[in-house]
Amino acid sequence: MTRPSQREVVLDAFQDLVVELGAANVTLEAAADRAGVSKGGLLYHFPSKSDLFAGLCDRLAEVVDRAIAESPDDPEGLVRWYLSAATDVVVGEDTLWLSLFAATHAVDEDVAAILSDLFARYSTPLRTLPGVVGEHVRLVGDGLYFNALIGGPLPDAKHLEQIVDSLVRRVAAPPEG
């Protein structure tokens, strides 16, 4: 197994600190210290805090691209895929999203725009669904996802399955209008 590059080690450290401390509270010194590199070593790869955030956004873009590539082609599978992903919060990855979303405007407007684009891009497979069903699925999925991220209430498994089944039936129904 190959060792991660110094750049990846720095990004890992920065990501951990963003999740632990919040994006606005992380310093370059703290990231360098956590990564076990000098501040000059960190600055070689990431000249600014904004560049570190851009590196994290690149990581999230890879996650989004992989998810889209793995999304099902059939409408029913697509609905189930999107809504399942909305409730399957992955602690490290998803708390990073939450931390970045919470601090984007306070830290870097460019990061806010990138995250907004990534979040929108994740739902692009839903555009293949008929009528307004894709938008319904996106809104339900986004609500479930943000509730899961903040530890808010989620429907119990039976109720969630009823919601998913209802949207799947909408996919199978003739188009409106």
- Note whether 153 and 76 are same-domain residues: yes
Give the pLDDT of residue 38. 94
C-alpha–C-alpha distance, residues 8 and 42, integer Å: 11
Place of tokens 């409106």: 176
* 124 found inside a domain: yes
The CATH number given to whatever domain includes residue 35 is 1.10.10.60
C-alpha–C-alpha distance, residues 48 and 25, integer Å: 14
Cα–Cα–Cα angle for 74, 144, 15, rounded to 5 degrees:
100
C-alpha–C-alpha distance, residues 124 and 53, integer Å: 24
Q: What number of CA atoms fall less than 13 Å from residue 120's CA on the CB side?
A: 6
Q: Quick count: other Cβ atoms within 10 Å of Cβ 134?
A: 22
**Domain of 7, in residue numbers:** 1-47
C-alpha–C-alpha distance, residues 128 and 20, integer Å: 38
pTM more than 0.85:
no
- Note whether 33 and 91 are same-domain residues: no
Per-residue pLDDT of the chain (177 residues; tens, 9 = 90+): 677 789 999 998 998 888 888 778 889 999 999 999 999 999 999 999 888 988 888 888 888 899 899 999 999 999 999 988 887 765 556 667 766 766 666 666 777 788 888 888 999 999 999 878 899 999 999 888 888 777 788 888 899 899 999 999 988 876 665
